[in-house]
Amino acid sequence: MKKRYSGIFKVLLVVSLVILAGCGGDDAVTSGDQVMDDAVETGTLAITANGEEFSREGFLSKDGWELTFDQIYATMGNIVAYQSDPPYDTDQGWDIGYKTMVELAGSYTVNLADPQSNPVFLDQLHDVQTGHYNALSWDMLRAAEGPSAGYCLLLVGQAEKEGVVIDFSLGIEQEVAYMGGDYIGDERKGILLPGGTADLEMTFHFDHLFGVGEEDATDPLNLEALGFEPLAVLAVDGVLETDLTALQTALNDDDYALLISIMTHLAHVGEGHCLAQFIQ
Amino acid sequence: MQSKFRSLSSTCLVGFAVAVCLIILPADVALAHGAELQYIERSAIEITARYDSGVPMANAQVAVFAPGSPAEPWLTGTCDSEGQFFFTPDPEIPGLWEVQVRLAGHGDLIRIEVAENTIGATGTTGFTSLQKLLMALSVIWGLIGTALYFSRRQR
């Protein structure tokens, strides 16, 4: 009797095992998010700046001026990277919630026109907590010293149109604070894994300032760009050395207002727009 | 006589076990040459991408990132001429899905919370998993009853 029951239960056991095996297949999936959340290791976070090909190779402005740049000095400070939570969106304004934030001390002046730098390396933070750094804020500040002293942004180059060549130097004194969310581009940035290196990029779109000749005149980008013609008419003997203070009286009110407004959408995170406000 | 019953009992038990295994095996294994239609009703996500001016981002590049995998796109594609893009997130990956849309130096990223169990109604021409489980339990219960019946008769 015992033997028979033993046989019965063996058969039942086989059936039960088959059932259990059939039911358990999908439970072995693990979540990459969980792995990331549990990580407590550190890595290196690099901060870079990029003026894109426009600054390194030059481009045709919306009004037909061929622009090339010798230097585009930009000075940045108060650089802070966040693991924002919830993920930061510029629609939410300047309030940002975050799990982790790291700050790069000091200010940095870089040449965005340097053809060898794509992008320009500013500095890196070692031993920072791993995770996804999905927001970045910084100030564009006046340089205290160096070739661009007194300016946040100094563009030096040549403009050429129909045989007319203008050597120009355009200084921007207005300091601006920027805050952007996730980097938008060919690749995701700011994803720092244990022992690894990730980077975040401040991206400057100079086509927003001068427009792009290859695009239609009615393209929103060109409609909101100053172009170079309003500056070209101010050149004397093929030379234009000016800055925002001088342009406030030299430009008409509309062009000056446009130039000022462009400063608020000059900086991006890749192709993602940033929130901006002038620093008084 | 007893040994005949024992033999019959064992045969029945093995037969039932095989039947149960066949029932709970996937239909495509049991009927490799047969046809089976299924449907799953799922909620699709519609993305509409426009410039600030309201102009559609026609043919913009789209990359969809599943929760927990921010570095590798789960899906890539392009918007249509109206700047629209449709996709159906995997209901087995609940959480914050990210969709990045880019065109000619402009881009943005939107996040979409996908809750668990957003999968809708399902259907199939075969048996559902629940039906198979119920059948298996019924057979097991019959198996036990048969075993008890034979063991009682031998006393």
Give the residue from B96, B100, B149 with the most A CB atoms within 10 Å of its CB, the best one to mutate.
B100
Predicted confidence at residue B3, as pLDDT, reads 53
pLDDT tens for residues A197-234?
999 999 999 999 999 999 999 888 899 999 999 999 99
- Continuous H helices in A40-135: 52-57
Interface of B with A in 88-147 (CB under 8 A): 92, 95-96, 98, 100, 102, 105-109, 111, 133, 136, 139-140, 143-144, 147
- B79 found inside a domain: yes
Is B96 found in the same domain as B57? yes
Placement of tokens 């000095």 in the chain? A73
What is the nearest CA distance from A106 to chain B, expressed in angstroms?
Answer: 30
Give the residue from B20, B28, B144 with the most A CB atoms within 10 Å of its CB, the best one to mutate.
B20
- Chain A residue numbers touching B144 (CB-CB < 8 A): 8, 12
Is B22 found in the same domain as B82? no
Is B51 found in the same domain as B79? yes
Residue A94's contacts (CB-CB under 8 Å, 6 or more residues apart) are: A179, A275, A277
- B119 found inside a domain: no
Are A14 and B17 within 8 A, CB to CB? yes
Is B144 found in the same domain as B110? no
Is B97 found in the same domain as B56? yes
Determine the average pLDDT of the residues in A82-90: 94
- B84 found inside a domain: yes
- Assign 3-state DSSP to chain B and report helix, strand, coil percentages, each to 5: 35, 30, 40
- B98 found inside a domain: yes
- B122 found inside a domain: no
Q: Which of A1, A11, A34 sits opposite B17 (nearest CB)?
A: A11
- Which pLDDT band holds residue A3 (cuts at 50, 70, 90)? low
Residue A8 has pLDDT above 90, yes or no: no
Q: Give the CA count within 13 Å in the CB-facing half-sphere of A221.
A: 20
Count the domains in chain B.
Answer: 2
Predicted confidence at residue B111, as pLDDT, reads 93
Predicted confidence at residue A17, as pLDDT, reads 46
What is the nearest CA distance from A242 to chain B, expressed in angstroms?
Answer: 29
The one-letter amino acid code at A18 reads V
The one-letter amino acid code at B14 reads V
Residue B123 has pLDDT above 60, yes or no: no
Domain boundaries, chain A: 36-278
Residue A259's contacts (CB-CB under 8 Å, 6 or more residues apart) are: A209, A226, A244, A247, A251
Predicted confidence at residue B119, as pLDDT, reads 52
Query: What CATH number does the domain containing B84 carry?
Result: 2.60.40.1120
Are B100 and A184 within 8 A, CB to CB? yes
Please indicate if any CB of chain A lies within 8 Å of the CB of B68: yes
Q: Is it true that the peptide bond before A220 is cis, omega within 30 degrees of 0?
A: no
Tell me what ipTM this predicted complex has: 0.74
Is B100 found in the same domain as B77? yes
Cross-strand pairs, A68: A158
Is the separation of the CB atoms in A270 and A263 below 8 Å? no
- B121 found inside a domain: no
Nearest to B61 by CA among B28, B108, B117: B108
Dihedral, CA atoms, A223, A224, A225, A231, nearest 10 degrees? Answer: 90
Is B75 found in the same domain as B47? yes
Distances, alpha carbon A253 to alpha carbons A56, A249, A256, A265, B101, in Å: 31, 8, 5, 19, 36
Q: Please give the mean pLDDT across all residues of chain B.
A: 78
Is B140 found in the same domain as B103? no
pLDDT tens for residues A62-79?
999 999 999 999 999 999
Is B100 found in the same domain as B63? yes
Are A15 and B71 within 8 A, CB to CB? no
Give the residue numbers spanning the domain of B145: 2-32+128-153
pLDDT tens for residues B39-79?
888 789 999 999 888 889 999 999 999 998 999 999 999 99
Is B74 found in the same domain as B50? yes
- B62 found inside a domain: yes
